[in-house]
C-alpha cells in the first residue's frame, strides 16, 4: 500500500497514538477515561480526520470475532454457575506433595483452564485460590502467582479460543480449530513444563526442600473458602475489560459455606434439600458440561467457530429454563465496544501506509523459511506486542506475514499464523504490563482481605524476561520443524 497524503499520515498517526496510550495506560492523568472509551475515541478521530469514511469504519468491524467473543463469555458464565471453576480449585490441593509439586500443579491447571476458558478468566478465578493456598502453608506467594500468570498466557496459545489474539487469527487465517491445536499444542506442553522448571530453579532458595503432606493440607481444614468461591468469569473473558470489573467481583467466598449454594438471597445446603431438587441441579450441571464438550468437539470437527459458540450459548440459555438477563448481564459489553473501536483505529492506521512501509523494510530479513529470518520476525512480534499490545500487533502484522509466507508455500502461510499466535501470546510474559492476565493476577492478589500481596513490576520482569525468551525459543524450534 502506498503512503497516504501527508496530512492523513500525521492525523492517522495521532489518532492511533491516542488509542495506544489509553489502551496501555488507561488512567493517564490528562485523560483518565479508560481503555474502552480510549478505543472509541481513536475510532471517532479516524473518521473525523477523514482517514476513514463512516462506511469504511463500519466495514472494519469484524462481526465474526465479536460473535465468537460474546458466545465464549456466555458459556464461561454458565460454567461458573455449574461449579466448573470450583473443581479446578480443588485440583490444586488434592494430595499435594509439597511446594514444588504445587507449582507444577498450578502451572498445569492454569494452562488447561486458559486453553478452554481464556487466560484472563482463569487468572481472575484462580488468583485468590493460589494466594490463600500459599499463605495458609507459609509459602512465599510470588512464585505461585507468577506460575499462575505465566502459565495462563502460555496455555492460552493452545486453542483459538484461549485469548483474544487467537480469536482474531482463527477468523482471519482460515486455519481450522484442529490444525491450530495440533500445530501449537506440542509447543504449549513443553512451554508450560520448562516454565515450571525455570520457576523452581529461580526460586529454589525460597521453596522448602521437603514438606510433610499433612502440613501442606492442614490449612484447608479451616480454609473452606478455597472451595467455595462465587465468581463471574464471563465478565473477565479478555484483558481489556479487566479493570472495569474488578470492583464488582466482591469476596463472598470468604463467607459462603461449603456444600451450599446461593438461592433467593440466602445460602441453602443442597444436601438437606429434597432429592428431586438435588437431582435437578445435578442434571442441569451435567447438561452444561455436555454442551461445552459438544462445542469443543464441533470446533475440532471444523465447524464455523462463531456459529458454534453462539449456538452453545443459546443452548445453555434454553436448558437453564430461566430468564437469560442475569447471564447476559455478566457479558463484558465494554470489551466488545473496545474491540469495535480497536478494529476501526487499526484499520485507519493501516490506511496511512506506515505499517506497510515498515513491513517492506523488514520483510527481506524476516523470511519464515530461514531460522535467522524466523528469529528476526519473532523479535519484531515480541517488541510490538509489548509496545502496542498483542491484539493490535496481530491486526497490523497478520495479513502481511501471511502474504509474504504464501509466496513460499501454503504450508508456510499457515505456519506464519501459528508463529504469530505463539510469539504474540508468550510475549505477554515479558513484563507485568505485557498481558492483561498479569495485571489481573497483580490487582486481584492485592485485593484479597488480610492476605493481600503486591507483585511488583521488577519482580515480574526478573522472571518474565528469561521465561519469555526460553519458552518462545522452544516453541519456535518446534514450529519451524
Q: Taking a C-beta distance cutoff of 8 angstroms, is the pair 181, 422 a contact?
A: no
Q: Taking a C-beta distance cutoff of 8 angstroms, is the pair 147, 196 a contact?
A: yes
Q: What is the largest CA-CA distance in the chain?
A: 74
Q: Taking a C-beta distance cutoff of 8 angstroms, is the pair 236, 124 a contact?
A: yes
Count of C-beta atoms within a 10 Å radius of residue 379: 13
Entry pTM: 0.69
pLDDT at 211: 47
pLDDT at 219: 41
pLDDT at 96: 65
pLDDT at 422: 95
pLDDT at 181: 92
Positions of the chain with pLDDT under 70: 1-4, 24, 26, 85, 88-89, 92-96, 209-276, 433, 450-452
pLDDT at 209: 56
Tabulate helix, strand, coil % of the chain (nearest 5): 75, 0, 25
pLDDT at 407: 86
Cα angle 43, 392, 236 (rounded to 5 degrees) comes to 90
164-181 pLDDT, tens digit each: 889 889 888 888 888 899
For the residues of 213-252, what is the DSSP string, one character each? HHHHHHTTTS-GGGG-----GGGGSSGGGHHHHHHHH--G
Residue 10 has which C-alpha cell?
A: 500525521
pLDDT at 255: 40
Q: Taking a C-beta distance cutoff of 8 angstroms, is the pair 344, 46 a contact?
A: yes
Cα(72)–Cα(440) distance, integer angstroms? 19
Amino acid at each position: 500500500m502506498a503512503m497516504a497524503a501527508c496530512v492523513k499520515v500525521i492525523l492517522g498517526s495521532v489518532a492511533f497514538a491516542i488509542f495506544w496510550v489509553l489502551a496501555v495506560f488507561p488512567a493517564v492523568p490528562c485523560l483518565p477515561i479508560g481503555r474502552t472509551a480510549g478505543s472509541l475515541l481513536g475510532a471517532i478521530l479516524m473518521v473525523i480526520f477523514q482517514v476513514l469514511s463512516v462506511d469504511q469504519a463500519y466495514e472494519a468491524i469484524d462481526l465474526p470475532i465479536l460473535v465468537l467473543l460474546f458466545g465464549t463469555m456466555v458459556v464461561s458464565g454458565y460454567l461458573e454457575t455449574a461449579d466448573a471453576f470450583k473443581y479446578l480449585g480443588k485440583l490444586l490441593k488434592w494430595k499435594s506433595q509439597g511446594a514444588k509439586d504445587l507449582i507444577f500443579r498450578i502451572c498445569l491447571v492454569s494452562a488447561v483452564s486458559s486453553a478452554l476458558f481464556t487466560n484472563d478468566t482463569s487468572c481472575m478465578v484462580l488468583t485468590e485460590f493460589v494466594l490463600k493456598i500459599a499463605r495458609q502453608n507459609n509459602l512465599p506467594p510470588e512464585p505461585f502467582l507468577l506460575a499462575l500468570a505465566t502459565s495462563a498466557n502460555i496455555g492460552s496459545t493452545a486453542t483459538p479460543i484461549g485469548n483474544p489474539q487467537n480469536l482474531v487469527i482463527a477468523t482471519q487465517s482460515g486455519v481450522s480449530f484442529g490444525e491450530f491445536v495440533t500445530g501449537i499444542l506440542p509447543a504449549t506442553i513443553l512451554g508450560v513444563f520448562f516454565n515450571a522448571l525455570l520457576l523452581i530453579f529461580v526460586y529454589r532458595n525460597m521453596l522448602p526442600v521437603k514438606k510433610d503432606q499433612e502440613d501442606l493440607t492442614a490449612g484447608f481444614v479451616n480454609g473452606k473458602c478455597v472451595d467455595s468461591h462465587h465468581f463471574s468469569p464471563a465478565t473477565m473473558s479478555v484483558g481489556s475489560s479487566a479493570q472495569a470489573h474488578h470492583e464488582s467481583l466482591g469476596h463472598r467466598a470468604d463467607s459462603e459455606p461449603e456444600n451450599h449454594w446461593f438461592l433467593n438471597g440466602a445460602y441453602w445446603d443442597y444436601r438437606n434439600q429434597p432429592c428431586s431438587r438435588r437431582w435437578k441441579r445435578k442434571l442441569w450441571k451435567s447438561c452444561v458440561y455436555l454442551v461445552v464438550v459438544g462445542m469443543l468437539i464441533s470446533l475440532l470437527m471444523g465447524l464455523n467457530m462463531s456459529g458454534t459458540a453462539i449456538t452453545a450459548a443459546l443452548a445453555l440459555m434454553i436448558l437453564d429454563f430461566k430468564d437469560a438477563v442475569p447471564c447476559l448481564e455478566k457479558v463484558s459489553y465494554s470489551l466488545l465496544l473496545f474491540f469495535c473501536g480497536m478494529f476501526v483505529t487499526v484499520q485507519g492506521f493501516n490506511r496511512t501506509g506506515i505499517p506497510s512501509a515498515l513491513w517492506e523494510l523488514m520483510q527481506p530479513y524476516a523470511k519464515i523459511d530461514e531460522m535467522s529470518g524466523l528469529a528476526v520476525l519473532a523479535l519484531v512480534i515480541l517488541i510490538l506486542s509489548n509496545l502496542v499490545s498483542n491484539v493490535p500487533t496481530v491486526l497490523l502484522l497478520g495479513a502481511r506475514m501471511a502474504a509474504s509466507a504464501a509466496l513460499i508455500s501454503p504450508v508456510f502461510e499457515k505456519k506464519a499464523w501459528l508463529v504469530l499466535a505463539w510469539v504474540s501470546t508468550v510475549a505477554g510474559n515479558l513484563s507485568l504490563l505485557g498481558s492483561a492476565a498479569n495485571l489481573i493476577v497483580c490487582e486481584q492478589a492485592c485485593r484479597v482481605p488480610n492476605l493481600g500481596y503486591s507483585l511488583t513490576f521488577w519482580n515480574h520482569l526478573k522472571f518474565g524476561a528469561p521465561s519469555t525468551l526460553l519458552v518462545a525459543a522452544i516453541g519456535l524450534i518446534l514450529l519451524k520443524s
